[in-house]
Amino acid sequence: MYGITPDNGMEKAYDLSEVAIVPTKRARDTVDVDLSWRIDAVSLDFPLIAAPMDSIMSPATVIEMGRLGGLGVLNLEGLWTRYADPSAQFDSLAKITNEIDAVQAMQRLYAEPIKAELIDQRLAEIHDAGVPFAAALSPKTVRQFAGHVEKAGADFLVITGTSVSAQYVSETRDALDMKELIHSLDVPVIVGGCVDYFTALNLMRAGAVGILVGFGGGARQATRDVLGIEVPMASAISAAAVARSDYMDESGGRYVAVIADGGITCSGDIAKALACGADAAMVGVPLARATEAPGQGYHWGREVWHPTLVRGLRQQVETLASLEEILLGPSVVADGSMNLVGALRRTLASTGYTTIKSFQKAKLILV
């Protein structure tokens, strides 16, 4: 009965790299494909959200992202809200090639306090551009600064953090009640990251207009090595899509957007995430290769500069083309890092779909 392998009930979970889309319907014309989607009151041209990471999102690139038809998100806990002009800080980081030095330099730079007036100033600059935009805070700072996001007229507040659950219980400090918080705010909230059906459902019940599935950032290998935690995205997105459907039923029709956040490194991954059931994808690495990216050839998330438990590595990336070319093409490379939107349009056409909603039912296989 009990040998070396007792049945411990472990299920196999699948990563995006373990699944593939197979065309089983007639191909459609790319000109018939409509990639637009809607989250709360906002319509967007294509289902890509830029991750709130300093290496890709400055006020300028948030604006450019919106101008092109996507959604940019400014990280309100990054260098832009700690320094009046962070150019010197970005430049100094770009000059450090040793990674341990870079970690320690970041730990110092990000120790500078966040200034409320800089938050106001950055958001005002973006708001004036007249494009849709969002701003991100972590569970730890959200109560302190959420009001500034409301006042600035952001389209969304994104609540996300290095902590892997958006819900948070503390015996010794005040716990964050997500439902109470969301209901107290005037700005629609996107929150995450969650990785299972029940957490997804709870976040939907808490009133979010969108939930992030996954842990974001470029910290996957580190999360595995340091914490032993891993989130196979294909399975996690599928679970969240089931939750979306069940919640729509129980709420009498509220549709909460499921946004894949993590492990998206090429346009093929975006297509797979949508085919697994996502409404949109939050992307990082591909945008870090833009000439406009503040990271200047480096990409990092907040897990790199944690003061006591570094859980991610600064990633070196090759600058490739303008943000517009990376998103809308034309492409001169074959690795899925350019013309992300055109590639997605082509995948839908090739597999016989003309809308994202119908494409969520595309045939997936295990490879």
Task: Give whichever of 65 and 194 is closer to its own copies, judged by the CB atom.
Answer: 194
Considering only residues 39, 191, 219, 257, which one is a binding residue for its own copies as defined by CB under 8 A?
219
Report if residue 214 touches its own copies, rule: CB under 8 A: no
Report if residue 182 touches its own copies, rule: CB under 8 A: no
Phi, psi of 112 (to 5 degrees): -60, 130
Considering only residues 144, 153, 186, 198, which one is a binding residue for its own copies as defined by CB under 8 A?
198
Positions 15 through 44 that interact with its own copies (CB under 8 A) = 15, 19-29, 31-32
**What's 305's DSSP letter?**
G
CA 332 to chain centre: 26
Rounded Cα distance, 269 and 260, in Å? 10
Report if residue 5 touches its own copies, rule: CB under 8 A: yes
Report if residue 339 touches its own copies, rule: CB under 8 A: yes
User: Per-residue contact track with its own copies, 110 to 149, x per CB under 8 A?
Assistant: ----------------------------------------
Please state the closest distance from residue 299 (CB atom) to its own copies, in A: 14
Considering only residues 146, 149, 191, 270, which one is a binding residue for its own copies as defined by CB under 8 A?
270
Quick one: which of 53, 71, 48 has its CA closest to 283? Answer: 48
Positions 229 through 268 that interact with its own copies (CB under 8 A) = 229-232, 235-236, 238-239, 242-243, 246, 266-268
Rounded Cα distance, 353 and 27, in Å? 8
Please state the closest distance from residue 124 (CB atom) to its own copies, in A: 33
Q: Near its own copies by CB under 8 A, which window of 42-50, 129-137, 247-255, 340-348? A: 340-348
Rounded Cα distance, 259 and 216, in Å? 11
Report if residue 360 touches its own copies, rule: CB under 8 A: no
Rounded Cα distance, 237 and 40, in Å? 20
Considering only residues 127, 197, 292, 319, which one is a binding residue for its own copies as defined by CB under 8 A?
197
Rounded Cα distance, 315 and 220, in Å? 12
Report if residue 313 touches its own copies, rule: CB under 8 A: yes
Task: Give whichever of 110 and 133 is closer to its own copies, judged by the CB atom.
Answer: 110
Chain position carrying tokens 């595309």? 362
Tokens of 196: 């299972």
Q: Near its own copies by CB under 8 A, which window of 54-62, 123-131, 151-159, 162-170? A: 162-170
Phi, psi of 167 (to 5 degrees): -100, 150
Please state the closest distance from residue 36 (CB atom) to its own copies, in A: 16
**Which long-range CB contacts under 8 A does 99-106 form with residues at least 24 apart?**
99/313, 99/314, 102/298, 102/304, 102/314, 103/304, 103/305, 103/310, 103/314, 106/300, 106/304, 106/305, 106/314
Tokens of 235: 């399975």
Report if residue 165 touches its own copies, rule: CB under 8 A: yes
Report if residue 82 touches its own copies, rule: CB under 8 A: no
Report if residue 367 touches its own copies, rule: CB under 8 A: yes
User: Partners of 321 in the beta sheet?
Assistant: 290
Considering only residues 304, 317, 323, 356, which one is a binding residue for its own copies as defined by CB under 8 A?
304
Q: Would the CA dihedral through 314, 316, 322, 326 be positive or negative?
A: negative
Report if residue 347 touches its own copies, rule: CB under 8 A: yes
Q: Near its own copies by CB under 8 A, which window of 72-80, 129-137, 141-149, 302-310? A: 302-310
| H or E, element range at 201 | helix 197-205
Please state the closest distance from residue 93 (CB atom) to its own copies, in A: 15
Task: Give whichever of 75 and 347 is closer to its own copies, judged by the CB atom.
Answer: 347
For residue 330, the tally of other CB atoms under 10 A from its CB is: 9
